[in-house]
Chains A and B, each alone.
Chain A
Amino acid sequence: MTLDIATIIDIVLLVGACVSAVFSIFPKRYPRAIFAFTITNLLIVLFCIHRLALIIGFILLWVYAGAIVAFSVAIMNIAGATEAAGRIKGGIIVLIAFLIVTVLLAISLPPEILAAPVEITFSDFAHALWDTHAFVAILLSFLVFTIITSALMIAVFALRSK
Protein backbone atom coordinates (compact mmCIF):
# COMPACT_ATOMS: atom_id res chain seq x y z
CA MET A 1 0.00 0.00 0.00
CA THR A 2 1.46 3.37 -1.00
CA LEU A 3 0.31 6.55 0.65
CA ASP A 4 0.60 9.99 -0.89
CA ILE A 5 2.07 12.90 1.06
CA ALA A 6 -1.34 14.44 1.84
CA THR A 7 -2.61 11.21 3.40
CA ILE A 8 0.56 10.82 5.47
CA ILE A 9 0.16 14.37 6.79
CA ASP A 10 -3.47 13.66 7.68
CA ILE A 11 -2.50 10.48 9.51
CA VAL A 12 0.33 12.21 11.40
CA LEU A 13 -2.06 15.00 12.45
CA LEU A 14 -4.70 12.51 13.64
CA VAL A 15 -2.22 10.28 15.47
CA GLY A 16 -0.83 13.39 17.18
CA ALA A 17 -4.37 14.39 18.12
CA CYS A 18 -5.00 10.95 19.63
CA VAL A 19 -1.76 11.06 21.66
CA SER A 20 -2.39 14.56 22.97
CA ALA A 21 -6.02 13.58 23.75
CA VAL A 22 -4.66 10.85 26.02
CA PHE A 23 -2.42 13.41 27.74
CA SER A 24 -5.37 15.76 28.18
CA ILE A 25 -7.32 13.16 30.17
CA PHE A 26 -4.71 11.61 32.48
CA PRO A 27 -2.73 14.51 34.05
CA LYS A 28 -3.71 15.50 37.57
CA ARG A 29 -2.86 19.16 37.05
CA TYR A 30 -5.26 21.29 35.04
CA PRO A 31 -2.73 23.44 33.13
CA ARG A 32 -1.13 20.33 31.62
CA ALA A 33 -4.52 18.92 30.68
CA ILE A 34 -5.59 22.20 29.07
CA PHE A 35 -2.27 22.45 27.24
CA ALA A 36 -2.69 18.94 25.82
CA PHE A 37 -6.31 19.70 24.94
CA THR A 38 -5.16 22.85 23.12
CA ILE A 39 -2.66 20.78 21.13
CA THR A 40 -5.42 18.29 20.26
CA ASN A 41 -7.65 21.10 18.98
CA LEU A 42 -4.77 22.63 17.08
CA LEU A 43 -4.06 19.38 15.26
CA ILE A 44 -7.73 18.84 14.42
CA VAL A 45 -7.95 22.41 13.10
CA LEU A 46 -4.92 21.77 10.91
CA PHE A 47 -6.52 18.54 9.71
CA CYS A 48 -9.71 20.43 8.80
CA ILE A 49 -7.75 23.18 7.06
CA HIS A 50 -5.85 20.53 5.16
CA ARG A 51 -8.96 18.63 4.06
CA LEU A 52 -11.44 21.44 3.47
CA ALA A 53 -9.57 24.61 2.54
CA LEU A 54 -9.98 27.35 5.07
CA ILE A 55 -13.66 27.88 5.86
CA ILE A 56 -14.52 25.10 8.33
CA GLY A 57 -10.97 25.07 9.68
CA PHE A 58 -11.00 28.70 10.71
CA ILE A 59 -14.54 28.52 12.10
CA LEU A 60 -13.38 25.52 14.11
CA LEU A 61 -10.33 27.48 15.20
CA TRP A 62 -12.44 30.32 16.60
CA VAL A 63 -14.99 28.01 18.22
CA TYR A 64 -12.29 26.01 20.00
CA ALA A 65 -10.34 29.11 20.90
CA GLY A 66 -13.54 30.20 22.65
CA ALA A 67 -13.89 26.78 24.26
CA ILE A 68 -10.34 26.89 25.59
CA VAL A 69 -10.88 30.37 26.98
CA ALA A 70 -14.08 29.12 28.67
CA PHE A 71 -12.16 26.21 30.21
CA SER A 72 -9.32 28.50 31.29
CA VAL A 73 -11.66 31.01 32.91
CA ALA A 74 -13.50 28.18 34.67
CA ILE A 75 -10.24 26.69 35.95
CA MET A 76 -8.92 30.05 37.11
CA ASN A 77 -12.20 30.71 38.86
CA ILE A 78 -12.20 27.30 40.55
CA ALA A 79 -8.50 27.51 41.42
CA GLY A 80 -9.12 30.72 43.33
CA ALA A 81 -8.22 33.54 40.95
CA THR A 82 -11.27 35.53 41.92
CA GLU A 83 -10.26 38.86 40.47
CA ALA A 84 -12.06 39.47 37.20
CA ALA A 85 -9.06 41.21 35.65
CA GLY A 86 -6.88 38.18 36.27
CA ARG A 87 -9.43 35.85 34.71
CA ILE A 88 -9.87 37.99 31.61
CA LYS A 89 -6.12 38.47 31.25
CA GLY A 90 -5.47 34.73 31.51
CA GLY A 91 -8.19 33.90 29.00
CA ILE A 92 -6.92 36.46 26.50
CA ILE A 93 -3.34 35.19 26.84
CA VAL A 94 -4.49 31.61 26.15
CA LEU A 95 -6.55 32.76 23.15
CA ILE A 96 -3.74 34.82 21.63
CA ALA A 97 -1.21 32.00 22.12
CA PHE A 98 -3.61 29.52 20.49
CA LEU A 99 -4.21 31.75 17.47
CA ILE A 100 -0.53 32.66 17.00
CA VAL A 101 0.61 29.04 17.11
CA THR A 102 -2.08 27.95 14.65
CA VAL A 103 -1.40 30.76 12.20
CA LEU A 104 2.36 30.14 12.40
CA LEU A 105 1.86 26.44 11.74
CA ALA A 106 -0.51 27.16 8.84
CA ILE A 107 1.95 29.64 7.32
CA SER A 108 4.98 27.41 7.79
CA LEU A 109 3.45 24.52 5.88
CA PRO A 110 4.22 24.66 2.15
CA PRO A 111 1.24 25.56 -0.09
CA GLU A 112 1.20 22.26 -1.97
CA ILE A 113 0.76 20.43 1.35
CA LEU A 114 -1.85 22.84 2.66
CA ALA A 115 -3.91 22.70 -0.52
CA ALA A 116 -7.12 20.81 0.16
CA PRO A 117 -8.05 17.79 -1.97
CA VAL A 118 -11.48 19.34 -2.65
CA GLU A 119 -11.69 23.10 -2.90
CA ILE A 120 -14.94 24.56 -1.56
CA THR A 121 -15.23 28.30 -2.14
CA PHE A 122 -16.92 30.65 0.28
CA SER A 123 -19.66 31.25 -2.32
CA ASP A 124 -20.44 27.50 -2.46
CA PHE A 125 -20.51 27.38 1.29
CA ALA A 126 -22.80 30.41 1.60
CA HIS A 127 -25.18 28.95 -1.00
CA ALA A 128 -25.23 25.65 0.87
CA LEU A 129 -26.03 27.49 4.11
CA TRP A 130 -28.90 29.30 2.40
CA ASP A 131 -30.24 26.29 0.48
CA THR A 132 -30.33 23.96 3.45
CA HIS A 133 -31.84 26.61 5.78
CA ALA A 134 -28.94 25.88 8.12
CA PHE A 135 -29.10 29.37 9.62
CA VAL A 136 -32.66 28.66 10.70
CA ALA A 137 -31.58 25.27 12.07
CA ILE A 138 -28.74 26.84 14.06
CA LEU A 139 -30.97 29.57 15.47
CA LEU A 140 -33.71 27.08 16.33
CA SER A 141 -31.25 24.73 17.99
CA PHE A 142 -29.94 27.58 20.15
CA LEU A 143 -33.51 28.59 20.97
CA VAL A 144 -34.50 25.05 21.96
CA PHE A 145 -31.23 24.65 23.90
CA THR A 146 -31.94 27.88 25.82
CA ILE A 147 -35.54 26.91 26.58
CA ILE A 148 -34.58 23.43 27.80
CA THR A 149 -31.73 24.80 29.93
CA SER A 150 -33.95 27.48 31.45
CA ALA A 151 -36.67 24.95 32.21
CA LEU A 152 -34.12 22.64 33.79
CA MET A 153 -32.68 25.40 35.96
CA ILE A 154 -36.14 26.59 37.05
CA ALA A 155 -37.01 22.99 37.96
CA VAL A 156 -33.79 22.53 39.94
CA PHE A 157 -34.21 25.82 41.83
CA ALA A 158 -37.87 25.00 42.54
CA LEU A 159 -36.86 21.63 44.00
CA ARG A 160 -34.07 23.24 46.03
CA SER A 161 -36.38 25.85 47.53
CA LYS A 162 -38.78 23.20 48.91
Chain B
Amino acid sequence: MTLSIYVGLALTLLAIGLYGLISSKDMLKILISIEIAILASIILIVLFASISGVPYAHVLGLLVLFVSAAETAMSAALAILLNRETGSIDVSKLKELREETS
Protein backbone atom coordinates (compact mmCIF):
# COMPACT_ATOMS: atom_id res chain seq x y z
CA MET B 1 0.00 0.00 0.00
CA THR B 2 2.80 2.40 0.90
CA LEU B 3 4.61 1.51 -2.30
CA SER B 4 1.57 2.47 -4.35
CA ILE B 5 1.55 5.92 -2.71
CA TYR B 6 5.17 6.47 -3.76
CA VAL B 7 4.51 5.21 -7.29
CA GLY B 8 1.39 7.38 -7.52
CA LEU B 9 3.32 10.49 -6.50
CA ALA B 10 6.09 9.71 -8.99
CA LEU B 11 3.50 9.22 -11.73
CA THR B 12 1.91 12.56 -10.75
CA LEU B 13 5.28 14.24 -11.19
CA LEU B 14 5.68 12.50 -14.56
CA ALA B 15 2.20 13.69 -15.61
CA ILE B 16 3.06 17.29 -14.62
CA GLY B 17 6.25 17.09 -16.70
CA LEU B 18 4.44 15.62 -19.70
CA TYR B 19 1.69 18.26 -19.49
CA GLY B 20 4.30 21.03 -19.47
CA LEU B 21 6.10 19.35 -22.36
CA ILE B 22 2.94 19.21 -24.48
CA SER B 23 1.36 22.53 -23.58
CA SER B 24 4.34 24.90 -23.68
CA LYS B 25 6.05 26.43 -26.69
CA ASP B 26 8.73 28.14 -24.62
CA MET B 27 11.96 26.15 -24.94
CA LEU B 28 13.13 26.73 -21.37
CA LYS B 29 9.78 25.63 -19.97
CA ILE B 30 9.96 22.54 -22.17
CA LEU B 31 13.41 21.83 -20.71
CA ILE B 32 12.13 22.27 -17.17
CA SER B 33 9.26 19.90 -17.97
CA ILE B 34 11.70 17.29 -19.31
CA GLU B 35 13.78 17.65 -16.14
CA ILE B 36 10.66 17.12 -14.02
CA ALA B 37 9.81 13.96 -15.97
CA ILE B 38 13.38 12.69 -15.48
CA LEU B 39 13.06 13.48 -11.76
CA ALA B 40 10.03 11.18 -11.62
CA SER B 41 12.07 8.33 -13.09
CA ILE B 42 14.91 9.03 -10.64
CA ILE B 43 12.44 8.88 -7.74
CA LEU B 44 11.28 5.43 -8.86
CA ILE B 45 14.86 4.17 -9.36
CA VAL B 46 15.85 5.48 -5.93
CA LEU B 47 12.74 3.96 -4.36
CA PHE B 48 13.23 0.49 -5.78
CA ALA B 49 16.98 0.64 -5.12
CA SER B 50 16.19 1.51 -1.51
CA ILE B 51 13.69 -1.33 -1.20
CA SER B 52 15.98 -3.93 -2.77
CA GLY B 53 19.08 -2.73 -0.89
CA VAL B 54 21.30 -3.72 -3.82
CA PRO B 55 24.03 -1.20 -4.65
CA TYR B 56 23.85 -2.07 -8.37
CA ALA B 57 20.52 -0.29 -8.60
CA HIS B 58 22.19 2.88 -7.32
CA VAL B 59 24.62 2.72 -10.22
CA LEU B 60 21.66 2.82 -12.61
CA GLY B 61 20.44 5.94 -10.82
CA LEU B 62 23.89 7.47 -11.23
CA LEU B 63 23.83 6.73 -14.96
CA VAL B 64 20.44 8.43 -15.33
CA LEU B 65 21.78 11.44 -13.42
CA PHE B 66 24.78 11.89 -15.71
CA VAL B 67 22.70 11.52 -18.87
CA SER B 68 20.26 14.07 -17.42
CA ALA B 69 23.13 16.50 -16.72
CA ALA B 70 24.45 16.15 -20.28
CA GLU B 71 20.96 16.71 -21.67
CA THR B 72 20.45 19.84 -19.58
CA ALA B 73 23.76 21.41 -20.61
CA MET B 74 23.12 20.65 -24.27
CA SER B 75 19.54 21.94 -24.19
CA ALA B 76 20.45 25.18 -22.40
CA ALA B 77 23.10 25.84 -25.05
CA LEU B 78 20.53 25.14 -27.78
CA ALA B 79 18.11 27.60 -26.14
CA ILE B 80 20.77 30.33 -26.20
CA LEU B 81 21.57 29.59 -29.85
CA LEU B 82 17.87 29.65 -30.72
CA ASN B 83 17.52 33.03 -29.03
CA ARG B 84 20.48 34.40 -30.99
CA GLU B 85 19.11 33.11 -34.29
CA THR B 86 15.44 33.99 -33.99
CA GLY B 87 15.31 36.57 -31.18
CA SER B 88 13.01 34.41 -29.08
CA ILE B 89 12.86 30.91 -27.63
CA ASP B 90 9.52 29.99 -29.11
CA VAL B 91 9.98 26.52 -30.61
CA SER B 92 7.13 27.07 -33.08
CA LYS B 93 9.45 29.43 -34.95
CA LEU B 94 11.78 26.56 -35.79
CA LYS B 95 10.41 26.04 -39.27
CA GLU B 96 13.58 26.58 -41.26
CA LEU B 97 14.11 22.91 -42.08
CA ARG B 98 10.47 22.24 -42.87
CA GLU B 99 9.87 20.86 -46.34
CA GLU B 100 8.07 23.23 -48.67
CA THR B 101 4.59 22.09 -49.57
CA SER B 102 3.14 22.97 -52.91
Which A residues contact B (CB, under 8 angstroms)? 1, 3, 7, 10-11, 14-15, 17-18, 21-22, 24-25, 30, 33, 37, 40-41, 44, 47-48, 51-52, 55-56, 59-60, 63, 66-67, 70-71, 73-75, 77-78, 116-118, 120, 124-125, 127-129, 131-132, 134, 137-138, 141-142, 145, 149, 156, 159-160
Residue in B5, B17, B79 whose CB lies within 8 Å of A11: B5
The 10 closest A-B pairs by CB, nearest first: A128-B55, A25-B20, A14-B9, A74-B76, A51-B50, A70-B76, A118-B53, A67-B72, A134-B59, A124-B55
Q: How many residues of B contact A (CB 8 A)?
A: 54
- A56 with B36: in contact, given A78-B80, A116-B50 (CB under 8 Å)? no
Additional A-B contacts beyond A71-B31, A77-B80 (14; CB < 8 A): A1-B1, A11-B9, A18-B16, A21-B39, A25-B16, A25-B36, A30-B28, A37-B32, A56-B62, A59-B65, A60-B42, A74-B77, A78-B83, A137-B63
Whether the pair B43, A71 counts as a contact (CB closer than 8 A) is no
Which B residues contact A (CB, under 8 angstroms)? 1-2, 5-6, 9-10, 12-13, 16-17, 19-20, 24, 28-29, 31-33, 35-36, 39, 42-43, 46-47, 49-51, 53-56, 58-59, 61-63, 65-70, 72-74, 76-77, 79-80, 83, 89, 96-97
Whether the pair A142, B58 counts as a contact (CB closer than 8 A) is no
Residue among B28, B43, B47, B59 with most chain A CB within 10 A: B59
Whether the pair B5, A55 counts as a contact (CB closer than 8 A) is no
Q: How long is the Cα–Cα vector from A62 to B83 in the complex, in angstroms?
A: 27
Whether the pair A63, B66 counts as a contact (CB closer than 8 A) is yes
Whether the pair A159, B74 counts as a contact (CB closer than 8 A) is no
- A120 with B59: in contact, given A18-B12, A67-B35, A142-B66 (CB under 8 Å)? no
- A52 with B46: in contact, given A15-B9, A18-B12, A149-B74 (CB under 8 Å)? yes
Q: How far is the CB of A150 from chain B (nearest CB, A)?
A: 11
